[in-house]
Amino acid sequence: MHPTRLPTQPAPMQRPGRWRSFCCPMHMAWALPMGMGAATQAPAPAGPVPSFVDGTVHTLSPFATRGDEATRDLYDTVAPDRLLVIEGATVIPMRGAQALPAHDVLVRGGRIRAVQATGAAVPEGALRIDATGLTLLPGLADMHTHPGTSTSAQMWGAMLGVSADVMTLPYDLQMFLYLAGGITRIQVMAGTPEYLALRESLRSGRLRGPRMRVASPVIDGYPAVWSPTITWQVSDAAGGRTAARQVLQAGYDFAKPYTRMPYDAYVAFSAECNALGVERTGHIPAEVRVEEALLRGQRGVAHTFELFYNDPPESRTNLGLLARRAKLCAELGVTVQTTFCVSRAFEYDIGQVGPDAYPLHDLLDPVLRWLMHPASPFLKAFGQDPQMQYQGRDCIAHTLNMLRALHAEGVRLVTGTDIPSSNAAGHHTAHDELEVLVRDVGLSPLDALRTATVNAAAHMGDNESGTVEPGQRAELVLLRGNPLDDIAATRQVEAVLMGDALLTRAAIERGLDRVRDLYGAMPVPQHPATEP
């Protein structure tokens, strides 16, 4: 029997929905591209279903074991015992003063040793970098992302009739793309053994790239929204408890509950996670009220719109209800991922906003350009789907209202995009999230930067980065402009320091040329068909 429902939230809305326009649900999810499931109360398949099923692929692809051949020459490395001095920068430490003009940052062994006024004594033999006129701050975060793997490439290959090998960008180049955009911290929000191997490659130094945290596979019900290859399916309380234990046993950093997880499974899953100390950051299942999910211990919400996504129309526009939810998030210490990029994609997918509001010209990945092209059969199918029309209608306005309420209550926000790759510093990136927070939500530039630095580090339980202070890891970005004056300056990446590795602007351009060449060689149609 369900416990008494909290009176502050209406019952989840029952809505019909169909995924039959696509050859499989994963195609639809990637076509957005956003990976958010429908809140449909879909019936279970006929006959008994297993309590727990792990459909992920445990055999690693050749891409997971490749080295850094495509990027090794792009990084300048600093010997562990040599002092590196970044001289004359305007430093944004993220604590205390907003900015420190004309300051040096001294780094040795991948750690910040001092932050001092330019002109103070510097030991002999130091490697010096002239940062006069540049702004230095901690590297930024995308706390909701999905780097492409061979699994997704196999899907694209099947769709386009080509081998997956020619549709996969080497993983070291994918990690380079994040750094090229100033992103030094990511959370992968639908984990698999392939991602665990990638995380280990980064930790061991075999590949260079951002600090990575990996969610469990999507923990969903029947039928699952996504492909079984990235999904754990549960049908009852026992399955929920098994999923919680599997998160620890498999080595994932946290659990990701998903939209179709059954109520009883979610209750048992939550109780087991609480007992085991397993963090939950994900969706709020359609059968579970928002307040109940948070009170049962879910402390991470994967999208701002999860706080209204499953509601009837009158609740989406109820600002008092949104404010009460924001207050509960603040009281319980909940972290909310912004993912405004998805809200905008949602309105674009259903035709509420046009191509001007969703630029595609600088998307590096040709598959994403193909899927999101106005003539794409996927967008046509979205426009004809009543469920997608309902969920996407006015999603931008509702998301902004929820973000404003969360900010007013001091809820910890973190930047996240739910986009498969960083796209460097172009559109559909964490830089978009920062601009929206300043322009449309009302955060100061400094507070917006905190969502991508200190807030992200705090959510990951990391007290050794996210600020520019002595003792912190040197995960830093140099910008040509000052984001405190114009938040769009975060796109102007001049250099990135990740531990002992320095990525300069010239190297970034060389790496981007390699990425463009490889993407350009992929056999993707220039103009998608207009019929499914």
> What ranges do the domains of the chain cover?
25-59+139-460+467-482+516-521
Q: Phi first, then psi: give them for residue 349, nearest 5 degrees.
A: -60, -35
Q: Which two tokens stand for residue 133?
A: 């006129």
The answer to whether 497 and 474 are in contact (CB under 8 A) is yes
Q: Give strand pairing partners of 186.
A: 142, 212
For the segment 208-267, what is each residue's pLDDT rounded down to a tens digit?
Answer: 999 999 999 999 999 998 888 899 999 999 999 999 999 999 999 999 999 999 999 999
Q: Give strand pairing partners of 87.
A: 130
**Which of 145-159, 222-236, 294-308 is most confident?**
294-308
The pLDDT value given to residue 405: 98
For residue 377, say if its preceding peptide bond is cis, omega within 30 degrees of 0.
no
Query: Rounded distance, CA 426 to CA 436, Å?
Result: 15
Average pLDDT over residues 73-85: 96
Strands (E), 362-510: 412-414, 475-479, 493-498, 501-504
Q: Phi first, then psi: give them for residue 187, nearest 5 degrees.
A: -120, 125
The pLDDT value given to residue 390: 87
The pLDDT value given to residue 44: 52
Q: Which residues of 347-368 are buried (b: 16+ CB within 10 A; e: fewer)?
A: bbbbebbeeeebebeebbbbbb
Q: Phi first, then psi: give them for residue 132, nearest 5 degrees.
A: -60, 130
> Helix (H, G, I), strand (E, B), or coil: what is residue 522?
coil
Average pLDDT, the chain: 89
pLDDT more than 70, % of the chain: 90
Of 421 and 437, the structure prediction assigns the larger pLDDT to 437
Query: Rounded distance, CA 447 to CA 196, Å?
Result: 32
The answer to whether 293 and 328 are in contact (CB under 8 A) is no
> From residue 501, how far is each of 109, 127, 184, 305, 474 by CA, in Å?
11, 13, 12, 37, 10
pLDDT more than 90, % of the chain: 74
Q: CA-CA-CA-CA torsion for 430, 432, 434, 437, nearest 10 degrees?
A: -130
The pLDDT value given to residue 18: 30
The secondary structure of residue 392, as a DSSP letter, is H
pLDDT interval class at 17 (50, 70, 90): very low
Planar angle of CA 95, 98, 100, nearest 5 degrees: 95
> Helix (H, G, I), strand (E, B), or coil: what is residue 381?
helix
pLDDT interval class at 527 (50, 70, 90): low
> Helix (H, G, I), strand (E, B), or coil: what is residue 377?
helix
Q: Which two tokens stand for residue 301?
A: 């919400």
The pLDDT value given to residue 45: 58
Judged against a pLDDT cut of 60, whether residue 9 lies above it is answered with no
pLDDT interval class at 184 (50, 70, 90): very high
Judged against a pLDDT cut of 70, whether residue 128 lies above it is answered with yes
> From residue 446, how far is each of 79, 325, 527 by CA, in Å?
33, 25, 42
Indicate the pairing of strand 84-91 with strand 76-77: unpaired
Query: Rounded distance, CA 38 to CA 61, Å?
Result: 30
The pLDDT value given to residue 228: 87
Q: How many CB atoms lie within 10 A of CB 4?
A: 7
The pLDDT value given to residue 29: 40
Maximum CA extent, the chain: 76
The answer to whether 218 and 302 are in contact (CB under 8 A) is no
Q: How many CB atoms lie within 10 A of CB 161?
A: 7
Q: Which residues of 275-305 are buried (b: 16+ CB within 10 A; e: fewer)?
A: eeebbbbbbbbbbbbbbbbbebebbbbbbbb
The answer to whether 254 and 263 are in contact (CB under 8 A) is no
> Helix (H, G, I), strand (E, B), or coil: what is residue 110?
coil
pLDDT interval class at 166 (50, 70, 90): confident
Indicate the pairing of strand 211-220 with strand 254-257: parallel
The pLDDT value given to residue 492: 98
For the segment 347-399, what is each residue's pLDDT rounded down to a tens digit?
Answer: 999 999 988 899 998 899 988 888 888 888 777 777 788 888 888 899 999 99
The amino acid sitting at 190 is: A
Query: Rounded distance, CA 451 to CA 179, Å?
Result: 18
For residue 33, say if its preceding peptide bond is cis, omega within 30 degrees of 0.
yes
Strands (E), 355-446: 412-414
For the segment 89-103, what is each residue's pLDDT rounded down to a tens digit?
Answer: 999 999 987 899 999
The pLDDT value given to residue 132: 98
Query: Rounded distance, CA 87 to CA 135, Å?
Result: 11
Helices (H), 16-75: 25-31, 62-65
Indicate the pairing of strand 231-234 with strand 254-257: unpaired
The pLDDT value given to residue 188: 97
The pLDDT value given to residue 374: 85
The answer to whether 226 and 250 are in contact (CB under 8 A) is no
SS (HEC) of 334-364: CEEECCHHHHHHHHHHCCCCCHHHCCCCCCC
Of 194 and 13, the structure prediction assigns the larger pLDDT to 194
The pLDDT value given to residue 76: 97
**CATH code for residues 25-59+139-460+467-482+516-521:** 3.20.20.140
Average pLDDT over residues 13-32: 34
Average pLDDT over residues 128-151: 95
Average pLDDT over residues 103-111: 98
